[in-house]
């Protein structure tokens, strides 16, 4: 239905309203998170071409793009797991060089990111142990985050005893226990079934709003990106020499709280969905 | 419910039961008449009986080298009664355990360092490859000069012999720890010490047990060897004495006992391994 890209005139009209040019900097004194010409080369290949954008505190930014466009690498650079070959990532104006406890990272492969020899409780406790929280204070904080993600009844279970959705909840609980102000999520719901994914999306949106978290959320699911994000950033693979990986930036002005039924019938949602699909289709040609 | 029971019973009676030996499977099971639990012991018992018969015939022909298992059993009871059995067993097991402890602690510690740091691995690679193949028994003369006869010499050699397999196996186990877990430890901000004790060490536990079971076997072999060759203590020495005093029954009793002790120690390790892995969340 939407296989063919929109005519040029229609696209121009739409981009004036919905698309923001990536080259125009956001008007802010010190952005909360700032990507400044971040370039990453690994093994002689440019994984991420110079990318610049800012993220405001409390913003939920989704990153989409075809596989191999550097989405995950961008996230890893933002959390200090890999260092930029050129350019830099600044958090509160300070250059990120290594991981920080204020930046949490939710990995896609929850099965490998959880310690199989520790219970759910023990896995959450690891974050507190790392932060040097005294043993006496850990139990209430663990109970608190487990209640938040709906795992209170499963505190004493080992990861193998949990479903995929519950394992991912456990990983999110561990990240929340860090008390981060920035959360990186690398396709966290990509491996889950549709219903589990929807309920986790809603719970995440609620958690993020309650805790005032800033989120960078990588996904290959365009609808998920629009549903969750305040802004969607589209990357392109192999942009060509001298051109940035960042291809499009879209503001999502759909009111919150969002809802799986009504939001997905919202005219703005449908409109953005069409735009984004058309853009990605174009990139695949 | 009760109303249905009679009809069910009738049905069961009516259903044709296969006559024994009718199907190939049933025919095979008739030849397998031995219950599964007993089956592993059939062969050893047969061998013992054969040995008994052969040794008695050899004794009748005037051989001093062999004694029938029944005589060995009698000698074994004698050694158990006069306490020499327990003393020697305790000495050998104690020394092997202490030596293993020493070798394992050092081997695990160094294996962790070499597994975690590529630079350390490169630094140590040549020294390890040169020292590792030295047969531990070849150290007996050196250890005798350094420590004299006795526990300390045996300890040193057992520690040397168990150090290398532990080192190499732990190093490779550490290098195979799930990289995602190491990333998790970086993101959570664990210190190097916490990373070693909370991530790496628990992650290698299954492989560590394989290494430890190998270490236990090596420790026993080396301990008994050292006792046979040099140290006038323990089970190996007791066996040598029996041989030198032309007591083949006692010698065989020791031989059999050493085998049983080795078997028991290994079985104990397996039980321990299962208990630990159950505590660590492995599906039972």
pLDDT at residue A66, as a whole number: 86
Instruction: Look over chain B and give the mean of its residue pLDDT values, rounded to a whole number.
Output: 86
How many Å apart are CA B53 and CA B47, to the nearest integer? 10
Per-residue pLDDT at B89 exceeds 70:
yes
Greatest alpha-carbon pair distance for chain A in Å reads 64
Chain A's closest residue to B193, CA to CA, is: A130
Q: Return the H-helix or E-strand segment holding B5.
A: helix B5-14
**Nearest alpha-carbon partner for A54 in A187, A263, A222, A231:** A231
pLDDT (tens digit, 9 = 90+) per residue, B172-204? 999 999 999 999 999 999 998 999 999 999 999
DSSP B137: G
A22 confidence band (pLDDT: 50, 70, 90): very low
| Structural domains in chain A, sorted by start | 8-102+180-192+200-252+272-284 (3.40.50.300), 103-179 (no CATH)
**Nearest alpha-carbon partner for A38 in A67, A65, A64, A76:** A76
pLDDT (tens digit, 9 = 90+) per residue, B16-44? 444 444 455 555 555 566 678 888 889 98
Per-residue pLDDT at A16 exceeds 80:
no
Contact A131 B189 (CB under 8 A): yes
| Angle (nearest 5°) at CA A66 between A60 and A70 | 70
Question: What is the arithmetic mean of pLDDT over B91-120?
Answer: 94
pLDDT at residue A4, as a whole number: 43
CA distance A104 to chain B (A): 7
| Structural domains in chain B, sorted by start | 87-244 (1.10.3720.10)
Please say whether the dihedral angle defined by the alpha carbons of residues A268, A270, A275 and A277, taken in this order, is positive or negative: positive
Contact B187 A79 (CB under 8 A): yes
How many Å apart are CA A117 and CA A126, to the nearest integer? 12
pLDDT at residue A19, as a whole number: 47
pLDDT (tens digit, 9 = 90+) per residue, A60-115? 999 998 888 889 999 999 999 998 999 999 999 899 888 999 999 999 999 999 99
Contacts of A117 in chain B (CB under 8 A): 202-203, 205, 280-281
Per-residue pLDDT at B5 exceeds 80:
no
Q: Which long-range contacts (CB under 8 A, 24 or more apart) does B136-145 make?
A: B136/B160, B136/B161, B136/B222, B137/B222, B137/B225, B137/B226, B137/B229, B140/B226, B140/B229, B140/B230, B144/B230
| First-last CA distance in chain A | 16
Encode B50-63: b = buried (16+ Cβ within 10 Å), e = exposed. Answer: ebbeebbebbeeee
pLDDT at residue B29, as a whole number: 53
Per-residue pLDDT at B111 exceeds 80:
yes
Q: Which residue has the tokens 């061998």?
A: B47
Percent of chain A residues topping a pLDDT of 90: 67
How many Å apart are CA A268 and CA A232, to the nearest integer? 14
Encode A122-136: b = buried (16+ Cβ within 10 Å), e = exposed. Answer: bbbbbbbbbeebeee
User: CB-based contact (8 Å) between A81 and chain B?
Assistant: yes
pLDDT at residue A10, as a whole number: 40
pLDDT at residue B7, as a whole number: 45
Of the listed ranges A128-137, A179-188, B23-32, B111-120, the least confidently predicted one is B23-32
- Ordered DSSP codes for chain A: ---SPPPHHHHHHHHHHTEE-TTSPP--SS-SEEEEEEEEEETTEEEEEEEEEEE-TT-EEEEE--TTSSHHHHHHHHTTSS--SEEEEEETTEEP-S--TTEEEE-S-HHHHS-TTS-HHHHHHHHHHHTT--HHHHHHHHHHHHHHTT-GGGTT--GGGS-HHHHHHHHHHHHHHT--SEEEEESTTTTS-HHHHHHHHHHHHHHHHHHT-EEEEE-S-HHHHHHH-SEEEEE-S---TT--SEEEEEE----SS--TTTGGG-HHHHHHHHHHHHHHHHHH-
Contacts of B184 in chain A (CB under 8 A): 105, 107, 113, 115
For residues A74 and A153, the answer to whether their CB atoms sit within 8 Å is: no
**With 0-12 CB in 10 A as exposed, 13-18 as middle and 19+ as buried, what is A180?**
buried
Mark which residues 128-147 of A lie under 8 Å from B by CB: 129-131
Percent of chain B residues topping a pLDDT of 70: 87
Total residue count of chain B as it appears in this document: 284
Per-residue pLDDT at B276 exceeds 70:
yes
For residues A251 and A225, the answer to whether their CB atoms sit within 8 Å is: no
User: CB-based contact (8 Å) between B232 and chain A?
Assistant: no
Please say whether the dihedral angle defined by the alpha carbons of residues B229, B235, B237 and B241, taken in this order, is positive or negative: negative
| Structure-block tokens of residue B254 | 């020791």
| Angle (nearest 5°) at CA B112 between A114 and B222 | 125
Question: What is the arithmetic mean of pLDDT over B238-263?
Answer: 91
A158 confidence band (pLDDT: 50, 70, 90): very high
- Ordered DSSP codes for B242-269: HHHTT-HHHHHHHHHHHHHHHHHHHHHH
Name which of A81, A116, A130 is nearest B281 (Cβ-Cβ).
Answer: A116
Of the listed ranges B140-149, B174-183, B205-214, the least confidently predicted one is B140-149
Name which of A112, A119, A160 is nearest B178 (Cβ-Cβ).
Answer: A112
pLDDT at residue B67, as a whole number: 85
- Helical H segments across B192-247, by residue range: 192-194, 201-203, 205-229, 234-244
Cis peptide, bond prior to residue A257, ω within 30 of zero: yes
Per-residue pLDDT at A172 exceeds 90:
yes
pLDDT at residue A150, as a whole number: 92
pLDDT at residue B209, as a whole number: 92
pLDDT at residue A173, as a whole number: 96
């Amino acid at each position: 239905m939407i296989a063919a890209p929109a005519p040029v005139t229609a696209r121009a009209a739409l981009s004036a309203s919905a698309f923001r040019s990536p080259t125009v900097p956001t008007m802010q004194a010190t952005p909360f998170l700032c990507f400044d010409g971040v370039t990453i080369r690994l093994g002689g290949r440019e994984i991420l071409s110079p990318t610049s954008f800012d993220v405001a505190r409390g913003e939920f930014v989704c990153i989409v793009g075809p596989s191999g466009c550097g989405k995950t690498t961008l996230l890893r650079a933002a959390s200090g797991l890999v260092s930029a070959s050129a350019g830099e990532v600044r958090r509160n104006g300070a250059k990120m060089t290594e991981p920080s406890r204020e930046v949490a990272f939710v990995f896609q492969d929850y099965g490998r990111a959880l310690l199989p020899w520790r219970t759910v409780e023990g896995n959450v406790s690891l974050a507190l142990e790392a932060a040097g929280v005294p043993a006496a204070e850990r139990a209430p904080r663990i109970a608190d985050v487990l209640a938040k993600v709906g795992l209170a009844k499963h505190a004493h279970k080992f990861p193998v005893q949990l479903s995929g959705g519950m394992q991912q909840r456990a990983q999110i609980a561990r990240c929340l226990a860090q008390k981060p102000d920035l959360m990186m999520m690398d396709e966290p719901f990509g491996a889950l079934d549709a219903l589990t994914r929807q309920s986790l999306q809603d719970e995440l949106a609620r958690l993020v709003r309650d805790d005032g978290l800033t989120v960078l959320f990588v996904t290959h699911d365009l609808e998920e990106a629009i549903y969750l994000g305040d802004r969607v950033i589209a990357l392109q693979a192999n942009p060509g020499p001298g051109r940035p990986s960042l291809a499009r930036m879209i503001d999502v002005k759909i009111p919150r709280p969002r809802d799986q039924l009504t939001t997905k019938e919202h005219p703005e949602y449908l409109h953005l969905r069409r735009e984004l699909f058309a853009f990605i289709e174009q990139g695949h040609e | 419910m009760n109303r249905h029971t009679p009809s069910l019973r009738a049905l069961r009676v009516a259903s044709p039961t296969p006559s024994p030996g009718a199907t190939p499977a049933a025919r095979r099971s008739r030849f397998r008449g031995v219950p599964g639990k007993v089956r592993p012991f059939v062969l050893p018992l047969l061998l013992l009986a054969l040995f008994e018969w052969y040794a008695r015939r050899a004794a009748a022909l005037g051989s001093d080298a062999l004694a029938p298992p029944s005589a060995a059993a009698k000698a074994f009871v004698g050694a158990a009664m006069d306490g020499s059995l327990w003393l020697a067993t305790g000495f050998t097991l104690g020394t092997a355990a202490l030596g293993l402890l020493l070798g394992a602690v050092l081997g695990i510690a160094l294996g962790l360092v070499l597994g975690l740091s590529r630079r350390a691995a490169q630094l140590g690679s040549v020294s390890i490859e040169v020292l590792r193949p030295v047969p531990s028994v070849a150290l007996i003369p050196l250890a005798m000069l350094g420590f004299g006869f006795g526990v300390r010499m045996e300890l040193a050699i057992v520690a040397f012999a168990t150090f290398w397999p532990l080192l190499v196996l732990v190093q490779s186990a550490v290098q195979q720890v799930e990289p995602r877990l190491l990333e998790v430890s970086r993101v959570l901000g664990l210190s190097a010490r916490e990373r070693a004790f909370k991530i790496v060490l628990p992650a290698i536990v299954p492989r560590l047990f394989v290494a430890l079971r190998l270490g236990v076997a090596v420790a026993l072999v080396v301990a008994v060897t050292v006792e046979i060759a040099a140290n006038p203590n323990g089970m190996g020495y007791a066996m040598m004495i029996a041989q030198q005093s032309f007591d083949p029954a006692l010698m065989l009793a020791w031989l059999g006992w050493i085998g049983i002790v080795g078997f028991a120690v290994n079985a104990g390790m397996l039980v321990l391994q299962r208990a630990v892995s159950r505590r660590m969340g492995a599906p039972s």
